[in-house]
Amino acid sequence: MATTEFGQAVRRWRDRVSPEAAGLPLGGHRRAPGLRREELALLAGISVDYITRLEQGRATNPSEQIIEALARALRLSSAERAHLFQLGGLQPPGPGSVPANLTPSVQRLLDRLTSTPAAVFDATWTLLLANPPYAALMGDPSGWRGHQRNAVWRNFLGPSDRVRHTPQSRRALQTALVADLRIATARYPADQRLKRLVAELLVQSGRFAELWETGIAGHHEAARKTIDHPHAGAVTLDCDVLTVAGSDLRIMVYTAEPGTEDAEGLALITVLGTQSLVG
């Protein structure tokens, strides 16, 4: 059960993370150098009200996903992350679970990609972290919850995204994602969240079930994608997937060839950010 001690730990660690370190603008006068609750909520994908209740000891039994999200947003070390799990009444995920902890080096890498869309996914293709250019390009994922954050689920059961697909390219993407997910189930057979994801997809998506029954296995890697941005128009970009050795984290990076119209379009999208131009 979450205690006041859990909330106090979150508050202490929130106070020590500067907005600059988290990739956020300073934004006016600040009474403390650390993150505001609203900023932590944005980074962790958790409501401000829930963080307030956690810090005040009024919220109990935070889930594994909540603690993991807080640990990433607060940039906790491995020891601190384990301590936060224990304060929340849970054991840190064991070796049989899909790793979701961002290493400091991966976090620093994303911090430095200030003009390059990049996002980090775990072995199940669940989104862990997206930098501001990625959110500007693909749409702000901060409001996504549960399976909405999983790329496999979104491609089979979720709403349409900004990526333009032909029937052939969609089939290729879905096949690659299913093949990759099968590798994850073999590598992490005890992960309950992964089991639930596969079970739900098998029941709700005939196309997923059809591909799953083929037994395909492999990895989702590089592709060339056209993204229809609502304000900047279409941009065609190279999408590379980099795997972090020893962690199974996947870093998805979008780039354009310098000096092209697509590079100019990507630069415009980065400047626009996630702001709305309607009004």
Class of domain 4-87: mainly alpha
Identical fold between 4-87 and 104-272: no
* Distance of alpha carbon 33 from the chain centroid: 26
What one-character DSSP code corresponds to residue 148?
Answer: G
Tell me the pLDDT band of 1, cut-offs 50, 70 and 90: very low
Where do the domains of the chain lie?
Answer: 4-87, 104-272
Q: How far apart are CA 21 and CA 24, in angstroms?
A: 8
The arithmetic mean of pLDDT across residues 212-237, rounded, is 90
* Residue 154 near residue 161, CB atoms below 8 Å: yes
Token pair of 206, please? 């005939």
**Would the pTM of this model clear 0.85, i.e. be above it?**
no
Residue 276 has pLDDT above 70, yes or no: no
Whose CA is closest to 228, among 190, 184, 269, 273? 269
Question: So what's the architecture of 104-272 in CATH?
Answer: 2-Layer Sandwich (3.30)
How many residues in the chain? 279
| Spatial strand order in the sheet of 233-244 | 127-130, 118-121, 249-255, 233-244, 223-229, 163-164
Q: How far apart are CA 96 and CA 187, in angstroms?
A: 8
Tens digit of each residue's pLDDT (9 = 90 or more) over 241-261: 998 877 789 999 999 999 999
* Residue 126 near residue 188, CB atoms below 8 Å: no
Tens digit of each residue's pLDDT (9 = 90 or more) over 101-135: 887 788 888 888 888 999 999 999 999 988 889 99
Tens digit of each residue's pLDDT (9 = 90 or more) over 48-65: 899 999 998 888 788 888
**Residue 3 confidence (pLDDT):** 63
What is the DSSP annotation of 93-157? P-TTSPP-PPPHHHHHHHHH-SSS-EEEE-TT-BEEEE-HHHHHHH---TT--GGGGBHHHHHHH
